[in-house]
Amino acid sequence: MKRILVTGALGQIGSELIVKLRKEYGAEAVIASDIRSVDNEVVHGGPFEILDVTNANQMAAVAQKYNVDTMMHMAALLSARAESNPQLAWNLNMGGLVNALEVAREQKLQFFTPSSIGSFGPDTPKEATPQDTLQRPTTMYGINKVAGELLCDYYHSRFGVDTRGVRFPGLISYVTPPGGGTTDYAVEIYYEALRTGRYTSFIDKGTYMDMMYMPDALQAIVDLMEADPSRLKHRNAFNVTAMSFDPEQIAAEIRKHIPAFELNYQVDPVRQAIAESWPNSIDATAAMREWGFKTTHDLSSMTEDMLQKLRTTIMS
Ligand code: AKB
């Protein structure tokens, strides 16, 4: 990777990925792009372009302008937002991906895009969900993700594009809050624990989902993109995970730092149904074997770090 175009650079993953990539490869080597602009490090810390991923010509022109050799396509609607506007989700998630893959094919770029645990469905084995298994998702987001995984495989086998990707679990970070996801409760809970000492969860107790701390997720992207291609049997959609918990377990961990923390429930039927259609825990051994995937944070160390970092942010 020498010159990398990142779409959706102001989103939850993009905004931290840009900072990490600029540290690793140099500020000028990372071109951040998003449909909007804001006053922050992503926009001012290196090249930035306004880019609507549904506009194929605009995307091709930006890639060409900077002579990029890598595209990281992050722009997408998350699960709950996709469910509230399925037509928009199809247009943005699929339209954007097809445009990005076409630019990668035409300009011979290495390509990364994330899939998700949302690509699994209620018929998928729930525990230690295997890398290769039944995928019949019941949400628009999941349908987009499965189609995206297959499309990335297709662009590799049919056109030789160096496509790579992972199935991310819920990502937890103290920098940019997620928006419109089903796993967002596991981020909100930390903010509310510090601000008010209580949280009302829209996901029910006993609902387990895979999660990962953002620094591990970013490292996974870099490691996969740097991996020796001859070792990659799967290429796209590697299961990756660091932990699996339900709201009670994260609350118990928070109480080790804020003993009076209170957790209540007001379950949102839409997001609860999405969560119940996803695995409880996935198996990441293919990623470990094929490109050395590893994580450094579990629930306990993530909670300690989140609370410490957020305390500084909230206080300032
Ligand atoms: C969501 O909840 O939609 C995302 C995901 C797991 O893909 N965080």
User: Ligand 1 center to residue 213 CA distance, Å?
Assistant: 13
- Name the CATH code of domain 171-211+241-315 (choices 3.40.190.10, 3.40.50.1970, 3.40.50.720, 3.40.50.1820): 3.40.50.720
Amino acid present at 294: K
Is residue 271 scored above 80 in pLDDT? yes
Instruction: Determine contact, residues 35/51, Cβ cutoff 8 Å.
Output: yes
Class of domain 4-169: alpha beta
Pocket test for ligand 1, best of 93, 113, 168, 239 (most atoms within 8 A of CB): 168
The predicted model gives 246-272 an average pLDDT of: 98
Residue nearest to atom 8 of ligand 1 (CA): 170
Residues 111-158: pLDDT tens digits?
A: 999 999 999 999 999 999 999 999 999 999 999 999 999 999 999 999
Q: Is 141 a catalytic residue?
A: yes
Residues 218-245: pLDDT tens digits?
A: 999 999 999 999 999 999 999 999 999 9
112 vs 169: CA distance, rounded Å: 16
Residue nearest to atom 1 of ligand 1 (CA): 181
Catalytic residue among 141, 155, 174, 185: 141
- Domain 171-211+241-315 in the same topology as domain 4-169: yes
Domain boundaries, the chain: 4-169, 171-211+241-315
CA distances from 27 to 71, 222, 286 (A): 16, 16, 33
Verify whether ligand 1 is closer than 6 Å to residue 12 (CB atom).
Answer: no
Q: Which of 91, 54, 73, 92 is nearest to 9 (CA)?
A: 73
Average per-residue pLDDT for the chain: 97
Is residue 315 scored above 80 in pLDDT? no
Atom of ligand 1 nearest to the CA of 12: 8
Residues 57-102: pLDDT tens digits?
A: 999 999 999 999 999 999 999 999 999 999 999 999 999 999 999 9
Verify whether ligand 1 is closer than 6 Å to residue 11 (CB atom).
Answer: no
Question: 253 — phi, psi (to 5°)?
Answer: -65, -40
Name beta bridge partners: 167.
Answer: 115, 239
